[in-house]
Amino acid sequence: MQQITNGGWDQRITIFRADEAEAGEQVDAFAIVTHKYVVFVDTLATPALARQMVEAMRPYLADRQPLVINTHADYDHCWGNAVFATDGELPAPIYGHAYAAKRLTSDEDKHYLSDQQQKDPRFAEVRLVPPTNTIDKQTAIDCGDLQLALIPTPGHCPDHIAIWIPNIRHLFTGDAAESPFPYVANAATLPSLIHSLEVLAGLNAAIALPCHGETTDPQLLTCNLNYFEAVKTSCLQSIENGSLPDDWINAKNIADIVGMSYEEALAISQADPEQTPSMYRDFHETAIKATITLLLRSQNAP
Ligand SMILES: [Zn+2]
C-alpha cells in the first residue's frame, strides 16, 4: 500500500492507495485529521490494509478519537472494518448507510465472502462488520474544525454515501464518480446514478477525491455526466435510425453498433487510455445496454 504525496489537497487529508496488481484492483481510502477525530473514509479490502492506515495515523490518534465512514458495502471499501469493531484493535463508531448494514449482514454477502476466502488467502482474516451508526438521509458530523456532510448518493449501489466538507470544498465521491466513468449495473440504477452525479456536481467542489481513478480534479463530475449524456445521444440515434439489431442485448460489439467506441468514451472522459484498466471496456458496454433498455422502456411507456 502507498501513501500518496500531497498533490494540492487540504493538509489534513491523507490518501492511501491499495494496489493489488495481481487482482487487477486499485482503490483509495482516506484519513482526515480533525480537531476531534481521525476520520477514516473506508477501510479497504482487508484488515491487514486497514491496519496499515491505522499505524500511519498512530501519532494523531494519541489525542483524538477514531471515527470510520463506509462509503458503501462493496468489499474493496469495507472489508477492513474488523479492525474498528468493538473487539477489534481500534474500536470506533462506523458510519454507513442503513442499507450497507443490511448488505453486510445478508446471506448473499456471507456467501460471497466465504467464496472469496476459498479463492484468495488474503481474505482469510476478513469479518463482515456492519456500520454501527447508520443513516438514511443527509447527516452532519461535527469534527470541530471541519464539518462533514454525509450525503446519500445511490446509483452505483443503493447504500452509497458521499462526503462533503463545505468549508474547504472537498468532496469524497466514493464510487458515485470515478475516472474514467462509474459502473452502472443496469437500467434500474442508471437514473439514480445520474441524479447523484448532478447533486455532487452542484456542490461546486474545489477538490474531488474518488476511490478509483487517481484524480482530484472536480471536472470529474462534469466528465462523468458528459459521458452518460454522450452514451444516451448515441443510443437514441441508433434507435431512431433503426440500426439496432433485434438481439442487441446479446451483441458483443454494442459500442460499434451505437457508434460510440471505447476510445471515444475515454476521450470524452478525459482519461488516458494507457493508464485505464481494461475492465472499463466492459463498464462501457454495460452502460450502453442499460441506456438502451431505459430508452426503449420510456418509448414503450403509455
Ligand atoms: Zn469500488
Q: For the chain (length 302 residues), average pLDDT per consecutive 10?
A: 92 93 81 98 97 97 98 97 97 98 98 96 96 98 98 95 98 96 93 97 97 92 97 96 92 93 95 89 95 92 66
Ligand 1 centre distance from Cα of residue 260 (Å): 25
Residue 41 has a CB neighbour count (10 Å cut-off) of 25
Ligand 1 centre distance from Cα of residue 288 (Å): 20
Q: How far is CA 36 from CA 44, 45, 143, 214, 228, in A?
A: 23, 26, 5, 28, 40
Helix axes 190-201, 279-300, angle to 10 degrees: 110
Ligand 1 centre distance from Cα of residue 62 (Å): 30
- The three grid cell numbers given for residue 42, joined into one nine-digit string: 473506508
- Could you please report the per-residue DSSP string of the chain? -EEEPP-SS-TTEEEEEEEETTTTEEEEEEEEE-SSEEEEE--BSSHHHHHHHHHHHHHHHTTSEEEEE-S--SHHHHTTGGGGSTTSSS---EEEEHHHHHHHTSHHHHHHHHHHHHH-GGGTT------SEEESS-EEEE-SS-EEEEEE--SSSTT-EEEEEGGGTEEEEETSS-SS-----STTTHHHHHHHHHHHHTT--SEEEESSSS---THHHHHHHHHHHHHHHHHHHHHHTT-S-TTGGG-TTHHHHHT--HHHHHHHTT--GGGS-THHHHHHHHHHHHHHHHHHHHHH--
Ligand 1 centre distance from Cα of residue 112 (Å): 16
Ligand 1 centre distance from Cα of residue 182 (Å): 9
Q: Where are the domains of the chain?
A: 2-218, 227-300
Ligand 1 centre distance from Cα of residue 176 (Å): 9
User: Which residue has cell 468493538?
Assistant: 86
Ligand 1 centre distance from Cα of residue 160 (Å): 11
Ligand 1 centre distance from Cα of residue 247 (Å): 31
Question: Residue 23 has what pLDDT?
Answer: 64
Ligand 1 centre distance from Cα of residue 75 (Å): 8
Ligand 1 centre distance from Cα of residue 143 (Å): 26
Q: What distance in Å separates the CA atoms of residue 276 and residue 196, rounded to the nearest whole number? A: 24
- The three grid cell numbers given for residue 262, joined into one nine-digit string: 471505447
Question: Residue 35 has what pLDDT?
Answer: 98
* For ion ligand 1, residues whose CB falls within 5 Å: 74, 76, 175
* pTM, entire model: 0.94
Indicate the fold that domain 2-218 takes in CATH. Metallo-beta-lactamase; Chain A (3.60.15)
Ligand 1 centre distance from Cα of residue 237 (Å): 32
Residue of 160, 192, 184, 173 whose CA lies nearest to 235: 184
Ligand 1 centre distance from Cα of residue 211 (Å): 6
Residue of 27, 149, 34 whose CA lies nearest to 77: 27
Ligand 1 centre distance from Cα of residue 302 (Å): 37
Ligand 1 centre distance from Cα of residue 228 (Å): 19
Ligand 1 centre distance from Cα of residue 238 (Å): 31
- The three grid cell numbers given for residue 156, joined into one nine-digit string: 452505483
Question: Residue 302 has what pLDDT?
Answer: 62
